[in-house]
């Protein structure tokens, strides 16, 4: 795979004239920076919708012990499934293997099948693990049941997955039409779509929980469909889809466990999470994950194109991509704080002030970005070392490592800047 010649489209991008503001610190390609920054800014704005939903449902989360800790994991799962989906499509586009055929045995068809099955199967595993976490947090008092979590995870998750799948396919169409690089925009825009739809879908699905036998029947039916889908795939001839699921599912479940641990951290620090911080929270975690996703996608594609030197210290294009990611962090976390401040002002809510809110978002964001750079690069090298596809595992590895670190970095910044 590494020796495959570069397609004409990839070669034309590599020959794009350099644009080097600040002495070239932002990297060699203006389009890469502009596309990524625009996508991240859009993601930051749309994250407000998720934050407002989270803040407006504060009393509902309080009345359903365990639901708040489930939120980061549910949001992250959309990105962990459909971020790699977009990364695989990007690689297929740049290596010349992509076609718009929806046949189940086509490249696109197998990717769609794998993405939907991953979403359902990982959602089922997440529900089971969430019940264990919820019982430990709530000491068994009023916690959601396993059937409740299965319904919220599978029904709400499937609703969200259909929308995010359509969004990712739309991005693929746009990338071909407008000459975008999917690696630059997939992670932040999939994050944006996940933020916009996942929380409302989860909230809507809570109407089906705590209803005794009705909830149990819905849970059994959706779990049965999930297991049947896995069985049908295992007996099919869709080798690419099977490989994607086999490689991805363990990492998706592991990422879910760590996302739930992040939820425990967040729920334990609930007294520090003011209204404006709840608005900031989804965007903060989503932005950190999107930065890692951009870097992972770019590194993965360049591994397939044979452009990455697998060295202990990053060199060449890998170092350039890491520099671009680091440079994007400061303005986008500052912008995220500005968006949260404006939203709070419009809503008439109190805030610690724009400067203090920026200090929290930027300081915590830079810490988590440094972590993202290391995990994305060395995680990609490790995946390739074991003969696995970095398109399948790059984003989930970043997210799995990131969620707890992201939550801790935000809470640590709140403590350091004494924001309660």
Query: With b meaning 16 or more CB within 10 Å and e meaning fewer, what string describes 265-293?
Result: bbbebeeebbbbbbbbbbbbbbbbbbbbb
* C-alpha to C-alpha distance for 217 and 15, rounded to whole angstroms: 58
- Helical pair 390-416 and 354-385, crossing angle rounded to 10 deg: 150
**pTM passes above 0.75:** yes
The residues spanned by each domain of the chain are 22-416
Rounding to the nearest 10 degrees, give the CA dihedral for residues 70, 73, 74, 78: 180
- The pLDDT tens digits for 285-304 are 878 888 988 999 899 888 88
* C-alpha to C-alpha distance for 339 and 335, rounded to whole angstroms: 6
The answer on pLDDT for 26 being more than 70 is no
Predicted confidence band at 212 (pLDDT cuts at 50, 70, 90)?
A: confident
Task: Look at residue 270 in the predicted model and tell me its pLDDT.
Answer: 64
Copy the structure tokens of residue 126. 């997440």
Closest CA to 151 of 196, 197, 214: 214
Residue 65's alpha-carbon distances to 21, 211, 222, in angstroms, are 50, 16, 23
Cβ atoms of residues 278 and 58 within 8 Å = yes
Rounding to the nearest 10 degrees, give the CA dihedral for residues 81, 166, 6, 395: -20
The answer on pLDDT for 28 being more than 70 is no
Average pLDDT over residues 49-63: 70
- The pLDDT tens digits for 80-133 are 899 899 889 888 888 888 888 889 899 999 999 999 999 999 999 999 988 888
- The pLDDT tens digits for 120-147 are 999 999 999 888 887 776 665 566 788 9
Q: Average pLDDT over the chain, rounded to whole?
A: 83
More confident residue, 47 or 327: 327
Q: State the DSSP code for 7.
A: P
- The pLDDT tens digits for 230-262 are 999 999 999 999 999 999 999 898 888 887 877
The answer on pLDDT for 59 being more than 80 is no
* C-alpha to C-alpha distance for 372 and 292, rounded to whole angstroms: 5
Task: Look at residue 142 in the predicted model and tell me its pLDDT.
Answer: 60
Cβ atoms of residues 351 and 344 within 8 Å = yes
């Amino acid at each position: 795979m590494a020796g495959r010649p570069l397609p004409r489209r990839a070669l034309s991008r590599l020959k794009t004239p350099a644009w080097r503001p600040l002495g070239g610190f932002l990297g060699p390609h203006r389009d890469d920076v502009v596309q990524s920054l625009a996508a991240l800014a859009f993601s930051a704005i749309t994250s407000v919708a998720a934050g407002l939903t989270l803040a407006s449902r504060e009393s509902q989360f309080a009345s359903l012990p365990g639901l708040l800790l489930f939120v980061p994991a549910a949001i992250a799962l959309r990105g962990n499934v459909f971020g790699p989906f977009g990364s695989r499509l990007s690689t297929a586009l740049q290596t010349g293997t992509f076609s718009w055929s929806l046949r189940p045995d086509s490249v696109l068809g197998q990717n769609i099948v794998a993405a939907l099955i991953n979403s359902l199967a990982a959602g089922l595993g997440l529900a089971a693990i969430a019940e264990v976490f919820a019982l430990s947090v709530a000491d068994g008092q009023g916690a959601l049941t396993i059937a409740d979590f299965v319904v919220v995870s599978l029904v709400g998750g499937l609703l969200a997955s259909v929308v995010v799948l359509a969004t990712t396919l739309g991005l693929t169409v746009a990338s071909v039409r407008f000459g975008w690089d999917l690696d630059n925009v997939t992670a932040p825009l999939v994050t944006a779509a996940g933020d916009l739809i996942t929380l409302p879908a989860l909230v809507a699905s809570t109407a089906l929980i705590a209803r005794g036998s009705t909830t149990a029947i819905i849970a059994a039916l959706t779990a049965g469909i999930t297991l049947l889908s896995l069985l049908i795939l295992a007996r099919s001839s869709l080798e690419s889809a099977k490989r994607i699921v086999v490689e991805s599912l363990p990492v998706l479940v592991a990422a879910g466990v760590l996302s739930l641990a992040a939820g425990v951290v967040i729920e334990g620090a609930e007294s520090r999470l003011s209204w404006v911080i709840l608005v900031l929270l989804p965007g903060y975690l989503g932005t950190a994950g999107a930065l890692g996703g951009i870097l992972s996608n770019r590194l993965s594609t360049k591994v397939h194109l044979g452009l990455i030197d697998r060295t202990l210290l990053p060199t060449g294009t890998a170092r350039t991509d890491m520099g671009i990611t680091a440079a994007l962090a400061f303005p986008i976390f500052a912008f995220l704080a500005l968006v949260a401040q404006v939203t709070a002002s419009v809503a008439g809510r109190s805030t610690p002030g724009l400067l203090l809110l920026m200090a929290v978002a930027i300081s915590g964001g830079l810490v988590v970005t440094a972590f993202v750079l290391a995990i994305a690069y060395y995680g990609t090298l490790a995946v390739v070392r074991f003969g696995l596809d970095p398109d399948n595992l790059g984003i989930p590895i970043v997210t799995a490592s990131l969620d707890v670190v992201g939550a801790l970095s935000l809470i640590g910044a709140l403590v350091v800047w004494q924001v309660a």
